[in-house]
Structure 1
Amino acid sequence: MAKQLLAVAEQKARQMGLACDIAIVDAGANLVAFHRMDHARIAGIEIAKGKAWTSVAMQMPTANLAQSALPGGPTYGINTTNQGRLTVLGGGIPLVRDGMIVGGIGVSGGTSAQDIEVATAAVQAFAAAHTHHSTGASRTIR
């Protein structure tokens, strides 16, 4: 499934003219799969991994943190916690099945809005795959 999500995200990034770093983590926020598209920024490797980790660790899209972490915001300074690992840039989104977070995706390569769009394509594919799976329409998706 992680490889399928990488493929969906890469396809979306290509359509948008982006070269992205894409990370998929499991429910424990451990890296499961990673892809660096040709010419994607080297700095984006850790950023994408950080976004995926943060989406699971904080149980929310990283875009939610971007606003609240601004100076004067309710979570200002949160990015300095967890040895600086919390990433407050948009583009990290949890993967949810049956109301439980089962993993996350992090994308780096464009603006936060573009990264969110690429990540959302994979999240939608994940949701669609598990909708089909639960109805028995496709037993091959795991």
Structure 2
Amino acid sequence: MATKSTPNLTLSGAQTALAAAEAHSKHIGVPMNVAIVDSSCHLLAFHRMEGAKPTSINIAIDKAFTAAGHRAPTSIYKENVWPGGPAFGIWNSNGGRFMTIAGGVPILDTEGRVLGAIGCSTGTPAQDEEVAKAGKEAVEKVFREEKKQGRSRL
């Protein structure tokens, strides 16, 4: 086979993730920058909540970029990126866009394929990850419901 079709998150899916992330961000009282990318790491949607730090805009986008491209949450790096760790210096890859701070999580379909990712930034790494997971879980819930009904819009 000379070509392969790669599943991607749609704008509708990105909007579902944004809405859920914003709602959770408001719930915890920390305004966020929220970025959604597709499985090819291209930006689908971005939302800067009132009060979110302007310096966190690119961080949110790069967290989503890293989670989609590496097919893993950005929180997995932790001690691995410290001097002497097996991934020390990885943040210099991809033009300096590789993020090793929690807050980027992949969005998966019901078969475990990465469709895109969400990245959040402005709070602590734990808060960023919590808000990103809320967005991811909202989209994945829709996928499960649509699979049960035999249809797919995201």
Shorter-chain TM range is over 0.9
8 Å CA contact retained: 1:129, 1:141: no
What's the offset of the Cα at 1:112?
0.3
Aligned counterpart, 2:8: none
Aligned partner of 1:21 among 33, 36, 49: 33
What's the offset of the Cα at 1:67?
2.8
What's the offset of the Cα at 1:54?
0.3
* Matched length: 141
| DSSP 3-state at the match of 1:33 | strand
Aligned partner of 1:99 among 96, 112, 124: 112
Aligned partner of 1:108 among 121, 131, 134: 121
Aligned counterpart, 1:61: 73
* 2-structure distance, mates of 1:114, 1:141: 29
TM-score, reference length from structure 1: 0.94
* 2-structure distance, mates of 1:50, 1:66: 17
* 2-structure distance, mates of 1:133, 1:71: 45
Aligned counterpart, 2:15: 3
* 1-structure distance, mates of 2:79, 2:69: 18
66-75 or 24-33: bigger deviation? 66-75
Structure 1: gaps spanning 5 or more residues: none
What's the offset of the Cα at 1:80?
1.0
Partner amino acid, structure 1, of 2:39: A
TM-score, reference length from structure 2: 0.87
What's the offset of the Cα at 1:70?
1.5
What's the offset of the Cα at 1:40?
0.7
